[in-house]
């Protein structure tokens, strides 16, 4: 993911982290556990909760890497389906892995996301100025849903698509921006590493890092 720093900085706020347009007006937010059960209701509750939490953190002047990390673990990661994210990122290699190896890759992806994003989140100061609208007309097929989200910040506008899967509840597993997706970026990275060094060696390297 290192080769897309500008995109990550510009659109990280859209992945896991975007709130809705009335976020600062309705804080504290409604928990996803008591929000409506539709994908749209869940996305609004998840994202609004994240934005409200960061607004509160900044208001208390307690924002730093440590507090941002804690907030990420509490407000973001529980609503991301890391297992499905990992399965899609590994694709053809997934069936070759046992349960322990799958968990190693899942942990690597979680650590990678945290490592890439914490500094960006800690430095982002414009949470109150983010304007977001969640499209009413989402698409859903069985337990998969796609929801378009429009984002406006500092006179820059863009639209992204959040992808969700429902198992016990709706969770985010990917974000599409034009022809790019977070899962697709990770897939390219893993495919390249596995072809160069083999999957067993890659697993051993990940174990040494943890």
Q: Would you call 199 helix, strand, or coil by DSSP?
A: helix
Q: What is the pLDDT of residue 25?
A: 47
Residue 13: its pLDDT value, please?
42
The residue count for the chain: 210
Report how far residue 9's alpha carbon sits from residue 11's, in angstroms, rounded to the nearest whole number: 6
Looking at the domain 5-209, which fold is it? Nuclear Transport Factor 2; Chain: A, (3.10.450)
Q: Kindly list the averaged pLDDT for each block of 10 residues, start to end, along the chain of length 210.
A: 39 41 52 83 81 73 68 79 95 94 94 74 66 82 91 73 92 86 90 95 89
Q: Please, is 27 exposed, middle or buried when counting C-beta atoms within 10 Å of its C-beta (0-12, 13-18, 19+)? A: middle
Closest CA to 118 of 210, 18, 8: 8
Q: Which pLDDT belongs to residue 12?
A: 45
């Amino acid at each position: 993911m290192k080769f897309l720093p500008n995109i990550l900085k510009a659109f990280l706020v859209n992945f896991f982290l975007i709130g809705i347009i009335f976020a600062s007006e309705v804080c504290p937010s409604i928990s996803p556990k008591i929000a409506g059960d539709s994908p749209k209701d869940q996305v609004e509750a998840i994202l609004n909760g994240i934005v409200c939490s960061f607004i509160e953190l900044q208001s208390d002047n307690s924002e730093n890497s440590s507090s941002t990390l804690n907030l990420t673990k509490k407000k973001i990661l529980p609503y991301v389906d890391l297992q499905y994210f990992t399965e899609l990122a590994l694709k053809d290699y997934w069936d070759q892995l046992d349960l322990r190896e799958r968990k190693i890759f899942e942990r690597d992806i979680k650590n990678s996301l945290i490592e890439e994003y914490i500094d960006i989140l800690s430095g982002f100061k414009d949470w109150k100025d983010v304007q977001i609208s969640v499209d009413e007309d989402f698409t859903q097929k069985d337990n998969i849903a796609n929801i378009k989200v429009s984002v406006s910040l500092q006179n820059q506008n863009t639209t992204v698509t959040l992808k969700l899967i429902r198992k016990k509840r709706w969770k985010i597993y990917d974000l599409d921006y034009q022809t790019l997706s977070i899962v697709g970026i990770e897939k390219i990275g893993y495919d390249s590493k596995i072809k160069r060094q083999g999957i067993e060696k890659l697993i051993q390297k990940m174990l040494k890092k943890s």
